[in-house]
Structure 1
Amino acid sequence: MRGKRPMKLSTREALNGYLFFSPGLLGFLVFMAFPILFSLYLSFTSYNMYNSPKWVGLLNYKIMFTEDPLFYKSLGNTLYYVALSVPLNTAFGVLIAILMNQKVKGIRLFRTIFFLPSVVSGVAVALLWQWILDGNFGLINSFLSNFGITGPGWLTDEHWSKPSMVLMNLWAVGGGMIVYLAGLQGVPRTLYEAAKVDGAGRLRQFWNITLPMLTPTIFFNVIMGILGGFQVFLQAYIMTGGGPNNSTLFYAFLLYNKAFKDLQMGYASALAWVLLFITMVFTLIILKTSSRWVYYEGSEQR
């Protein structure tokens, strides 16, 4: 156009990039950023979804830390679950991945079989395990009765309820197994060939080659496992309802009850922000200590 300076190519490309990016940015601002910030505001209010939020300052946090025994109960249950499920999932995931990395006939079928449970609907899995762990006619106790062993009340005994949830969580170990398998297939074969020349056995190869080279993958899965563990909800909601004696009342379950049963949206928002802080602390601890045990190829740090 006459009388107007032509727009630079770089400027046009930048504008086109922002134009294509804008729907995603708008969706993030509307559906994620705004609800997150609004929940922060609600955490300082008393809100029951029927009346307008009423500002109460730090009252929700004061009640949480000084007057609500279920807060500490649910937090303890969740920490117990995370402390058991994350190491077990890591160990079994690595073990199964090593088995699935072998060059044997039909290995693709076995990989599919181990991976499929991780994509099944969570409700269906919970109902299935509710039957498996039933104290009267469940599959596990029926099997134990063949040997004259009386199985425990997996879901009705407070001493067994949380271990039952951890056991059930191993059902989906195939998801982590696939990630570990990808990590294993990225290990250079020349390292194993050199180790064999030096006379290293399988155990020595695993300890000095496989495990160090797999630590970045373990690092990723541990963080994801911690984040997922602190949000455990569906299993307890479907199978036990938080019982017996609140032994499976996990943190996310308490948050759900406060928000949608007691209609204490302000208090539930405060619980959510405390959960965010807790997960951030654990994640930062893992990140800070990763330089001591995570090995990256080409780096001298372990």
Structure 2
Amino acid sequence: MAVLTFLGLAERVLTEERRPLSPSEIWKLATAKGYERELRSQGKTPAQTLYTAIFENARDNPQSRFIKIGDRPARYYLRSLAKEKQPSELEQAASSPASIPEKYHYKEAQLHPFLVRFVYVQFGARCKTIRHGTSKKNEFGEWIHPDMIGVYYPAWRDEVLTFSQMTGGLAVKLYSFEIKKALSFANLRESFFQAVSNSSFAHQGYLVAADISTDEDFRSELQRLSISFGIGVIELDIEDPAASQVLFPSEERDSLDWEALNKVAMNRDVQELLKRIGTDLRAKEVRHEEYDPVLEADQLISTIGKVR
């Protein structure tokens, strides 16, 4: 089988699609068609490698076969094909997202086990899914509840744990997670401020997704929002769970917002979780079976159905 470079892959997709595409759209179409198997090298972040290759080639090479069209997100087209269309046609085509065939069939809830494992490995914390249906929808408005709450129990000696409770110290750390299948300019604002709203009670809050646009302008805006509001961003990899990563870290709060936690606790799942934390602390033993199970990587991958 012949090998492809990243630029060769981009040229093939653009030739077939005959419309401006963002690097993220090019990569999704390439993987949907199976072209990524012909790449000479992928590395751990092939989508980002593709973006960098196209961006730098169009920027630095006067003879580049690629031209940039539009912004937020920037889309690229082949210089040779651009002659066939009027500039207004290209701009109009670049203003709308491409139709991308799905590579996997999965629902947002199927990302929960991926996050559970990542949080356990990365933070040493246990997670619990929070079902929104167990809340009163007319109380305090929406965007109150995260999709998952993580609980970190410090590995303290019993004497230290008892002493901390006697002196009013909090012996656990709470994480809030808002989960989306995909993040792009189309849903960034709503998703991000949903994460801001429902993480106000926790020590750390994260926005989580499996498909995060690699567009440079998008990543820059995502980082700006993360720094401004202290919300971290986690990218899940459903093909290789070990490659999941914290894109931007969350700012850690020194203490919980008890009023905010009281509002979140109108949800029955949160109430039960708080009771469980109290029981575990009193017993000085964490009942792992009471939290979402931590699956092995191969078990996680088997839960996601491939389209092709």
TM-score normalised by structure 2 residue count: 0.27
Q: Which has the higher strand share?
A: 2
Task: Give the TM-score taking structure 1 as reference length.
Answer: 0.27
Kindly indicate whether structure 1 or structure 2 has the higher relative contact order, using CA contacts under 8 Å at least 6 residues apart: 1
Please state which structure has a larger fraction of its residues in helix: 1
Question: Which structure is larger by alpha-carbon Rg, 1 or 2?
Answer: 1
